[in-house]
């Protein structure tokens, strides 16, 4: 059974909307083994890094906070920099799911996919979605435009694409990365 690590970047952790969304999507595919990490309450330490290394695929989930992903997600990106281009993540597929009230989510989706891909993750086609409170309300009224709105059900096909990508075996080449401390100083007064 393929292992999917769900990384919740919401500052509200297991108490927020992202946590509720994760509960919904984790029920959609019984052939996958899901494990959720609420980053708001979890240190990005060797335990989490081992968990990342042992996973076959990932779902990065975040809300939209002033046009950005959640601060726990940013902390993860900063503190997992040492995993860049390593076998722990290289070529492993990830889905990205963003919640919002109304605006800003699509740019987060695109930017986060860009960051993750640069780090070494594989972005399968149609593996990202934004789900908004606005859509949630709009979808309660029947509309012929509904197919063009991202909806919870789209997570099912995203999981299908994630699964397909997890079964791919490709020997990717990685560029050399500077393995010294990336936070070391380069500016002199
Ligand atoms: C501090 C804060 C800032 C937010 N900024 C935005 C925003 O810029 N655009 C938007 O559409 N929704 C915004 N929202 C709404 C959240 O993205 C949305 O409710 C999301 O589902 C929150 O998930 P959470 O409860 O897991 O944190 C904001 C919410 C908070 C708490």
How far, in Å, is the centroid of ligand 1 from the Cα of 173? 38
Q: Select from 16, 26, 31 the least CA-distant residue to 155.
A: 26
Q: Is the predicted pLDDT of residue 142 greater than 90, yes or no? A: no
Is residue 22 in a domain? yes
Q: What is the CATH number of the domain that holds 93?
A: 3.40.50.360
186 vs 133: CA distance, rounded Å:
44
Is residue 186 in a domain? no
Is residue 46 in a domain? yes
Is residue 181 in a domain? no
Q: Do 32 and 86 form a contact (C-beta atoms < 8 A)?
A: no
Is residue 15 in a domain? yes
How far, in Å, is the centroid of ligand 1 from the Cα of 113? 19
Number of domains in the chain: 1
Q: What is the pLDDT of residue 107?
A: 98
Is residue 171 in a domain? no
Whether the CB of 97 sits within 6 Å of ligand 1: no
Whether the CB of 36 sits within 6 Å of ligand 1: no
Average pLDDT value for the chain = 96
Is residue 45 in a domain? yes
Mutate to test the pocket of ligand 1, among 25, 100, 104 (most ligand atoms within 8 A of CB): 100
Range of 103's domain?
2-166
Is residue 127 in a domain? yes
**Model pLDDT for residues 50-81, shown as the tens digit of each residue:** 999 999 999 999 999 999 999 999 999 999 99
């Amino acid at each position: 059974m393929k292992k999917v690590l769900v990384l919740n970047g919401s500052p509200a952790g297991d108490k927020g909307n992202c946590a509720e969304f994760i509960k919904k999507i984790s029920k959609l595919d019984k052939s996958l083994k899901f494990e959720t990490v609420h980053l708001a309450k979890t240190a990005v330490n060797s335990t989490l890094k081992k968990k990342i290394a042992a996973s076959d695929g990932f779902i990065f989930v975040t809300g939209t906070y002033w046009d950005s992903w959640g601060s726990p997600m940013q902390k993860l990106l900063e503190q997992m920099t040492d995993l860049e281009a390593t076998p722990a993540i290289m070529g492993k597929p990830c889905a990205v799911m963003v919640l919002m009230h109304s605006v800003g989510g699509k740019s987060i989706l695109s930017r986060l996919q860009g960051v993750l891909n640069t780090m070494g993750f594989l972005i399968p086609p149609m593996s990202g979605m934004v789900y908004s409170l606005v859509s949630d309300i709009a979808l309660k009224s029947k509309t012929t435009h509904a197919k063009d709105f991202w909806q919870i059900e789209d997570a099912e096909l995203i999981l299908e694409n994630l699964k397909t990508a997890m079964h791919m075996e490709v020997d990717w080449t990685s560029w050399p990365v500077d393995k010294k401390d990336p936070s070391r100083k380069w500016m002199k007064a």
